[in-house]
Amino acid sequence: MERSALHAFADEIGLFFEDQGLPRMPGRVLGWLMVCDPPHQSAEELAEAVQASRGAISMAVKLLIGAGAVERHPVAGTRRVYYRLRPGFWLLEAESKARVARDWRKLMERGLDLMDDLGEDRTRRVKEAHDMYAFLEQEYSQIRDRWLRRQEGEEI
């Protein structure tokens, strides 16, 4: 794939981020870190690749590091700071979604306890949220386990 097509792909990821209500620039940086060679890039290289200011790159990288998607990567013989996609990030992302589902389910349990004597009509919305997130919590756990088995080469 030629270089310009890879840039377009990174831009598509930026647009995907934006469609999800997130800033576009971290998506562009993440997209570039997914396809670049070498897999680690300095802030200057990122700025050139996605045609952005150093300030925009700095803010995007901070956001991505905070989300656990990107990490600093030392390169022997240089003082420059390099960044790369964090190995294992995608599994961490699924585990994060499982934690959010668990925390939301627990919050909905508290709501149900508070509304216990208010009747089924009044609690239906909270119960629906509880049941959905209990389901998602269980499914995300199974996804994690299946993914790990798959990575180890076991049959699913």
Q: What is the pLDDT of residue 42?
A: 96
Strands 70-73 and 82-85: antiparallel
Residues of the chain with pLDDT under 50: 1
Q: What is the pLDDT of residue 117?
A: 83
DSSP for 74-91, written as a single string: --TT--S-EEEEPTTHHH
Comparing C-alpha atoms, which of 71, 15, 82 is closest to residue 45? 82
Q: What is the pLDDT of residue 155?
A: 57
- Find residue 85's DSSP bridge partners: 70
Angle at 65 between CA 148 and CA 30, to 5 degrees: 75
Residue 105, φ and ψ in degrees, nearest 5: -60, -45
Tokens of 144: 């994690």
The answer to whether the predicted template modeling score (pTM) of the entire model surpasses 0.85 is: no
Q: What is the pLDDT of residue 43?
A: 95
- Domains observed in the chain: 3-85 (1.10.10.10), 89-151 (1.10.287)
Q: How far apart are CA 71 and CA 89, in angstroms?
A: 10
